[in-house]
Amino acid sequence: RAVAVGTPADVRRALAALAAGRLDPALVLGETGGTVRTALLFTGQGSQRPGTGRELYARYPRFAEALDEVVAKLDPLLTGPEADTAPYSLKDVLFAGDGTPEAAALHETGWTQPALFALGTALYHLVRSWGVRPGVLLGHSIGGITAAHAAGVLSLDDACALVAARARLMQALPQGGAMYSVQATEDEVLPLLDGLEDQVSLAAVNSPGSVVVAGDEDAAERVAAHFAGQGRATRRLRVSHAFHSPRMDAVLDAYRRVAEGLTYHEPAVPVV
């Protein structure tokens, strides 16, 4: 089976690659057999868009109820004395129109991560109300906390505390670095990182043929350029910092202290 996802241009390119027997970052390949389980993947940073969820909020009471509950927990954490953000409500940032200060704030890490957690949690409650019962949950970056909460590992209070701390600590780091999505396998990328471990890292393996590299701008750009020169698809991600790279090391101790103060439970649904 094959699934093509993305913009119309992405889908056309992916289908052409499928017909030619090539990999493409917008193409997901797999085989099914035996018992089929539903997996839900919670997204990470870079997927945020102004106005996301606005129509769902107006149309589905369960989505609105869940989103309001999360926002009520997060707002005091995002605008309190430790926060370095403007005094908006998270819902104002989520539903802001293009060109407004609130819409611009959505792309600041301090707001982006809480926004994605709130949206992911509300979407989970919505699909559950439709009868969807996932067999496994996955999370991409900040989506890992969303998955942990959905699985019952973290209470809503603890999940919100962790999300707010993560966002605040990362936002406080000096901006810089870069992240690139690259049409390449893990084995193709790793040799290019030898000796550069303090500058650039393999940040994510999205599929067998699509990875993300992150780190110092020059180093990450060189890796992306290597594959672009081979005609591979590459894309710089719209993020303020080089996440999942050595540039995050400075906040690890503070983040660990927050995580150690939380209560963890056995997951009710497997989390990958």
d(CA 51, CA 92): 9
Domain residue spans of the chain? 2-36, 41-174+252-260, 178-239
Tokens matching residue 270: 């497997």
Beta bridge partners of 205: 211
pLDDT at 157: 98
pLDDT at 85: 53
pLDDT in tens, the chain (272 residues): 789 998 999 999 999 999 888 889 888 888 766 677 899 999 988 788 888 899 999 999 999 999 999 999 999 998 755 555 557 899 999 998 888 888 888 888 899 999 999 999 999 999 999 999 999 999 989 999 999 999 999 999 999 999 999 999 998 888 888 999 999 999 999 999 999 888 999 999 988 999 999 999 999 999 999 999 999 999 998 887 888 888 888 999 999 999 999 999 999 999 98
Residue type at 204 in one-letter notation: A
Q: According to the CATH classification, is domain 178-239 in 3.30.70.250? A: yes
Adjacency order of strands within the sheet including 234-236: 200-207, 210-215, 178-182, 234-236
- DSSP assignment of 55-108 equals HHHHH-HHHHHHHHHHHHHHHHHHSSTT--S-S--HHHHHHPPTTSHHHHHTTS
Query: For 185, left (φ over 0), alpha (ψ -120 to 50), or beta?
Result: beta
| φ and ψ of 101, to 5 deg | -60, -35
- According to CATH, what is the number of the domain 41-174+252-260? 3.40.366.10
